[in-house]
Amino acid sequence: MNSGPILRKEDIVFLISPSYSANKLEIEEGIKVLKTKGLQVQLGKSIFKSWGNFSGTDNERLTDLQEALDSATAKAIICIRGGYGLSRIISRLNWEQFIKNPKWLIGFSDITLLHIQIQKFGLRSIHGLMAARFAKQEHESGFQMLYSCLFNKQPTLDYAIQIESDFMPFEPIEGKLIGGNLTMIVHTIGTVLEPDFSGKILFLEEVGEPFYKIDRMLYQLKLSEKLKGLKAIVLGQFTECNSLGFPLKLEEIFKTTFLQIPTFSGLQSGHGTPNFPLILGENAIIQKSNDGFTFTQLLHQNEVI
């Protein structure tokens, strides 16, 4: 599988903000962190702009994103933050040059839409920390893990997870990892961006949604019958998601909605801390360990990262 290259010192990374705007100081501190790692940073022209909550107008953000996708020199595209905005521009993107010259795309939240599109091309991308958080002390471990992935400093990602289903799988579960933000995934159902879930492991995370809305989104997925053939669901961080009187716990909502799909929790990835990287579009293996289960991805089997 083709994907982004191993990064080296002096390589160029392209910084963009295709959704909401970020604090100027946070952007500048993120740039500084990347430069201390020996990287050259190319900046999208709209990253310090604002149009309401957006980082520039639709056309300005689209121009930056298209330039980053088309770049023949950048080795990675790093998003500054999420929020909202990609839905307004993603259908206008031209992916021809990106497919010919793939590079890593890094981000989460609203960036889920770009990840889904990239996986449709058979390529990989990184669900991980964004530049506005690179310099924050509480995100140091997430940034260091991302750095290790990009610079080929470790062979695998290994994370501890817990089983939530009422049945215990005896054999390892293996499949390509897809997913990201729950709201954005549900947003794609019935559109050209709708993922193929069959044979996959689905990772989900969310922020700021009450349990009844999460329940409603899960029933939309269930009633759409799109998850047939899905091998497993792995829950990441559901940050600032409150029950508001809903009678089930979060994990119970998932396991009672999808009785036939093994469900796991505890993956430290999403809007919380730490936010560890995941390689979307790459195989993942879930297997029993001494004290629970492990979620593993082999990073270098395709001579990338």
Catalytic residue list: 109, 205, 271
Question: What tokens appear for 99 in the block?
Answer: 């497919």
Q: In the chain, how long is the greatest CA-to-CA distance?
A: 54
Is residue 4 classed exposed, middle or buried when 0-12, 13-18 and 19+ CB atoms within 10 A define those classes? buried
CB atoms within 10 A of CB 43: 15
Closest CA to 55 of 130, 136, 127: 130
Q: What are phi and psi of 38, to 5 degrees?
A: 85, 10
In the β-sheet with 125-127, what is the strand arrangement from edge to edge? 40-43, 12-16, 74-79, 104-107, 125-127, 278-280
Question: What tokens appear for 305 in the block?
Answer: 């990262």
Partners of 41 in the beta sheet? 13
CA–CA separation, 302 and 194 (whole Å): 26
CA–CA separation, 238 and 250 (whole Å): 9
* Triad 149, 155, 157: Cα angle to 5°: 65
Partners of 238 in the beta sheet? 206
